[in-house]
Amino acid sequence: MNSTIIQFTQVTKQYDNDPPVLNDVSFKIERGKFYTLLGPSGCGKTTILRLIAGFTEASKGEVLFNGKKINHVPANKRQVNTVFQDYALFPHLNVYENVAFGLRIKKMKNAEVDRKVKEALSFVNLKGYETREIREMSGGQRQRVAIARAIVNEPEVILLDEPLSALDLKLRTEMQYELRELQRRLGITFIFVTHDQEEALAMSDEIFVINKGKIQQSGTPIDIYDEPINRFVADFIGESNIVTGRMIEDYKVEFVGKEFECVDQGLNPNEPVDIVIRPEDLEITALERGKLQVRVDSQLFRGVHYEICGYDKDGNEWLVHSTKKATVGDEIGLYFDSEAIHVMRHGETEEEFDRRLEAYSDVDTNGK
Amino acid sequence: MWIQMENKLTKNLYLFPYLLWIALFVIAPILLVLYYSFFDIEGNLSLINYQKFFTPVYLKMTFSSFWYAFLITAISLLIAYPTAYLLTKTKHKQLWLLLIIVPSWINLLLKAYAFIGIFGTYGAANSFLNLMGIGSQQILFTDFSFIFVSVYIFIPFMILPIFNSLNELNPTLLDAANDLGASKWTTFRRVIFPLTIDGVKSGCQVVFIPALSLFMLTRLIAGNRVITLGTSIEQHFLVTQDWGMGSTIAVFLIIIMVVIMVVTNTRKRGV
């Protein structure tokens, strides 16, 4: 069986003469994985979901499902089900009938409906809630009903449109575990839309980072966190320090007026680049031992770590996550490994980026 | 303590106009109607009026009132529901709604007289029929003209509550139904209609109950060919001077209205 279940080929979505909501987007979704579409609001992530669900049609390009073009297939004929942001549970039906809705439309026998609905409800830990009205359910419980209503139809793909955004923090974290667990047990494809980067990193097999109607970067959470392709991704995923620099030659980069060793290669000599260093990769040390010298401007206690903000003498801001405390007003040294430096080329496309990364690993294996 | 008493006093003070209104214009007339219904035409205390009500003449009249009120309500609903649905889809829905409501501000009598002009032998409708080569027809003083004009008068009151309940409907619910495999028609049958049933009910109430006691239109438009309970009440009070019988019919009309209101007024479900 082909592992690709959904494929977008150069899909554009445009309303009237407004700038396109999605601009020439192509990607593949594989069977049985947990995908996250991550981006700020208005970036086009929900549009991708609506295109897959069939609530809207692409202006250009092809949407393939199991290798078949489904651009004009109406939503009620598609093998996907959606969990909506506001759950969209039917207020005139109780929990049982909400979950049974899809099955009843298929004219399934009552005994069969009963078995499936009970199974779905126990899957989401809502056994015994069958006769409850929707308005008697809490936010978290409604969420589960919405999930049960989607999985009971045994779709190949479940689409989740920011389903956790209405829950409080504790419940949200709990549901993150549950959703991930559910996806593993069901073994079907989940496509999850969120603007919460932590949620995306914690839950996904694959993340698509989307901005301004384009997929900026796709990859595993670790890939995207460790090797952001550009300023937007670096900034959107996690906290980061971004400064401009210059690639002197392979393994040598210059920024804040100093030369540093790095692990990047394959760039043009003297090419201008952006440098990213994650706050947790910066280590507080004695002034003279530090690769950077900054004056501590502010310090916040975050529970797990201190968030320290300092400025170097050129006025660049440096954010440090450290379990060690600093004193505001002091000058401290910051140490980091050469691996901590991430070099980003200007305007590099994802393909070029991937090719360059592959080139590194070739060198690594050759060297061993 | 003193402030609480003061509060209670002002509360009662605000309640006073309402209570006065109810007493003078609701309770007193009902009691009066009830009182008069126990007197026959000679002014003797008797139950003869109630006996008379159950004779074929009045039962037929009751049935015909119900039948016409039902027709008017059903036709209004058939036209109003799709209209309200289309209105919620338009860009300037509040404006379109206003345009539909505006005619209801015009006096009922004026509208009735306007229709006499339009439907009359030399009216606009007949000139049009002549022009089409069909020739003049008797339009005025028929069942058709009666129902047509009644529907015209009542339809804004049917559209308004239905429009409101359709307007409050969460559009994601329609996506959800569609997503779960429902066709457009199934979505309407299983989601849209059940969720707007409250609007339909109050629309039917607002149309059916006044339609039961229509009397002016029966004379002006239907030319007394349609006799409803409303016409009969009017005739008894103004023509035959049998206030007792008129009151008895009114008592039954009130009972019927209360029953209809209780039956159609189920609790509104929270979302």
Domain CATH for A329? 2.40.50.140
Whether A143 and chain B come into contact, CB under 8 Å, resolves to no
The whole-number average pLDDT for the span B240-255 is 89
The distance of Cα A363 from the centroid of its chain, to the nearest Å, equals 30
Q: Is the backbone of residue A258 left (phi > 0), alpha (psi -120 to 50) or beta?
A: beta
Choose one of A226, A251, A283: the last residue of a domain: A226
Q: Chain B closest CA to A102's CA: distance in Å?
A: 5
The reply to whether residue B180 touches residue A102, judged by beta carbons under 8 angstroms, is yes
pLDDT at A357: 74
Q: Give residue A355's domain range.
A: 240-367
Which of the four pLDDT bands, split at 50, 70 and 90, describes residue A367?
A: very low
pLDDT at B47: 86
- Whether residue B269 is predicted with pLDDT greater than 50 in this model: the reply is no
Asked whether residue A198 falls in the same domain as residue A51, the answer is yes
CA distance A206 to A34: 7
- Whether residue B261 is predicted with pLDDT greater than 60 in this model: the reply is yes
The reply to whether residue B172 touches residue A86, judged by beta carbons under 8 angstroms, is yes
The whole-number average pLDDT for the span A263-287 is 88
- Please state, rounded to an integer, the average pLDDT across all residues of chain B: 87
> Under DSSP, is residue A297 helix (H, G, I), strand (E, B) or coil?
strand
CA distance B188 to A19: 34
Asked whether residue A217 falls in the same domain as residue A330, the answer is no
Could you report the per-residue pLDDT of A348-363, keeping only the tens digit for each?
Answer: 888 788 887 777 666 5
DSSP lists the bridge partners of residue A260 as A253
Residue B246 lies in a domain: no
Which of the four pLDDT bands, split at 50, 70 and 90, describes residue B270?
A: very low
Asked whether residue A222 falls in the same domain as residue A254, the answer is no
Whether A105 and chain B come into contact, CB under 8 Å, resolves to yes
Q: Is the backbone of residue A299 left (phi > 0), alpha (psi -120 to 50) or beta?
A: beta
Could you report the per-residue pLDDT of A266-275, keeping only the tens digit for each?
Answer: 788 888 899 9
What length does chain A have? Answer: 368
Could you report the per-residue pLDDT of B37-74, keeping only the tens digit for each?
Answer: 998 888 888 888 898 889 898 888 889 889 999 999 99
CA distance A14 to A155: 28
- CATH label of the domain that carries residue A54: 3.40.50.300
Whether A81 and chain B come into contact, CB under 8 Å, resolves to yes
Could you report the per-residue pLDDT of A208-256, keeping only the tens digit for each?
Answer: 999 999 999 999 999 899 888 888 999 888 888 999 889 888 888 888 8
Asked whether residue A253 falls in the same domain as residue A106, the answer is no
Of residues B106 and A82, the one with the higher pLDDT is: A82
Distances (CA, A) of A218 to A52, A206, A223, B186: 18, 7, 9, 39
Residue A231 lies in a domain: no
Q: Decide if B244 contacts B38 (C-beta within 8 A).
A: yes
Which of the four pLDDT bands, split at 50, 70 and 90, describes residue B119?
A: confident
- Whether residue B271 is predicted with pLDDT greater than 50 in this model: the reply is no
The reply to whether residue A76 touches residue B191, judged by beta carbons under 8 angstroms, is no
Closest Cα in chain A to B268: A92
Q: Give residue B111's domain range.
A: 62-240
> Who among B173, B178, B271 is closest to A75 (CB)?
B178
Helix pair B243-264, B229-238: axis angle to 10 deg: 150
- Domains held by chain B: number: 1
The reply to whether residue A82 touches residue B175, judged by beta carbons under 8 angstroms, is yes
Whether A153 and chain B come into contact, CB under 8 Å, resolves to yes
The reply to whether residue A76 touches residue B271, judged by beta carbons under 8 angstroms, is no
Residue B3 lies in a domain: no
Tokens for A355? 């090719």
Choose one of A162, A192, A226: the last residue of a domain: A226
Q: Which of A139-148, A293-302, B8-17, B155-164 has the lowest average pLDDT?
A: B8-17
Whether A359 and chain B come into contact, CB under 8 Å, resolves to no
- Whether residue B2 is predicted with pLDDT greater than 70 in this model: the reply is no
Residue B18 lies in a domain: no
Which of the four pLDDT bands, split at 50, 70 and 90, describes residue A324?
A: confident
How deeply is B138 buried, as exposed, middle or buried, from its count of CB atoms within 10 A (0-12, 13-18, 19+)? exposed
pLDDT at A131: 92
Asked whether residue A130 falls in the same domain as residue A276, the answer is no
- Domains held by chain A: number: 2
Type of residue found at A286 = A
Interface mutation vs chain A, best among B169, B180, B201, most A CBs within 10 Å: B180
Nearest residue to A113 via CA among A128, A126, A98, A132: A98
Asked whether residue A215 falls in the same domain as residue A272, the answer is no
Whether A75 and chain B come into contact, CB under 8 Å, resolves to yes
Could you report the per-residue pLDDT of A25-39, keeping only the tens digit for each?
Answer: 999 999 999 999 999
CA distance A210 to A232: 10
Asked whether residue A184 falls in the same domain as residue A80, the answer is yes
Nearest residue to B244 via CA among B30, B46, B27: B46
pLDDT at A63: 93
Distances (CA, A) of A360 to A255, A266, B199: 22, 8, 68
Distances (CA, A) of A173 to A120, A170, A185, B27: 22, 5, 19, 61
Count the neighbouring beta carbons within 10 Å of the beta carbon of residue B215: 17
Residue B245 lies in a domain: no
CA distance A65 to A68: 5
pLDDT at A363: 54
Asked whether residue A163 falls in the same domain as residue A253, the answer is no
pLDDT at A235: 87
CA distance A255 to A269: 14
Nearest residue to A191 via CA among A7, A2, A324: A7
Choose one of A198, A226, A254: the last residue of a domain: A226
Asked whether residue A216 falls in the same domain as residue A244, the answer is no
> Who among B173, B178, B191 is closest to A76 (CB)?
B178
Query: Which residues of chain A from 119 to 138 reach within 8 Å of chain B, CB to CB?
Result: 133, 135
Q: Decide if A217 contacts A276 (C-beta within 8 A).
A: no
The reply to whether residue A76 touches residue B183, judged by beta carbons under 8 angstroms, is yes
CA distance A215 to A23: 9
Q: Which of A33-42, A75-84, B12-21, B114-123 has the lowest average pLDDT?
A: B114-123
pLDDT at B1: 55
- With contacts defined as CB-CB under 8 Å, which chain A residues touch B181? 76-77, 102, 105-106, 153
> Who among B176, B179, B194 is closest to A92 (CB)?
B194
Containing B133, the helix (H) or strand (E) segment is none
> Who among B181, B194, B269 is closest to A76 (CB)?
B181
pLDDT at B232: 85
Residue A234 lies in a domain: no
Closest Cα in chain A to B180: A102
- ipTM exceeds 0.85, yes or no: no
Tell me which long-range contacts A27-31 makes (C-beta under 8 A, separation of at least 24).
A27/A208, A27/A215, A27/A218, A28/A4, A29/A4, A29/A5, A29/A157, A29/A189, A29/A191, A30/A3, A30/A4, A30/A5, A30/A189, A31/A1, A31/A3, A31/A4, A31/A5, A31/A156, A31/A188, A31/A189
Whether A92 and chain B come into contact, CB under 8 Å, resolves to yes
The reply to whether residue B182 touches residue A135, judged by beta carbons under 8 angstroms, is no
Q: Decide if B257 contacts B212 (C-beta within 8 A).
A: yes
- Whether residue B240 is predicted with pLDDT greater than 50 in this model: the reply is yes
Residue A76 lies in a domain: yes
Could you report the per-residue pLDDT of B140-173, keeping only the tens digit for each?
Answer: 788 888 899 999 999 999 999 999 999 999 999 9
Name residues whose C-beta falls within 8 Å of residue B65's C-beta, 6 or more positions apart in sequence.
Answer: B212, B213, B228, B229, B230
Q: Decide if B37 contacts B251 (C-beta within 8 A).
A: yes
Q: What percent of chain A has pLDDT over 90?
A: 51
The whole-number average pLDDT for the span B200-212 is 90
Asked whether residue A215 falls in the same domain as residue A329, the answer is no
Residue A232 lies in a domain: no
Q: What is the pTM of this model?
A: 0.80
- With contacts defined as CB-CB under 8 Å, which chain A residues touch B192? none
Could you report the per-residue pLDDT of A305-315, keeping only the tens digit for each?
Answer: 999 999 988 88
CA distance B120 to A248: 98
- With contacts defined as CB-CB under 8 Å, which chain A residues touch B172? 84-86, 88
Count the neighbouring beta carbons within 10 Å of the beta carbon of residue A4: 14
Whether A15 and chain B come into contact, CB under 8 Å, resolves to no
Residue A26 lies in a domain: yes
Q: Is the backbone of residue B55 left (phi > 0), alpha (psi -120 to 50) or beta?
A: beta
Residue B254 lies in a domain: no
Asked whether residue A65 falls in the same domain as residue A191, the answer is yes
Which residues of B lie inside 8 Å of A (Cβ-Cβ)? 170, 172-173, 175-183, 186, 190-191, 194-195, 269-271
Interface mutation vs chain B, best among A16, A56, A77, A84, most B CBs within 10 Å: A84
pLDDT at B15: 87
Interface size A-B, in CB pairs within 8 Å, comes to 67
Distances (CA, A) of B127 to A208, B130, B136, B147, B152: 70, 5, 7, 21, 21
- CATH label of the domain that carries residue B181: 1.10.3720.10
The reply to whether residue B179 touches residue A75, judged by beta carbons under 8 angstroms, is yes
DSSP lists the bridge partners of residue A274 as A244, A344
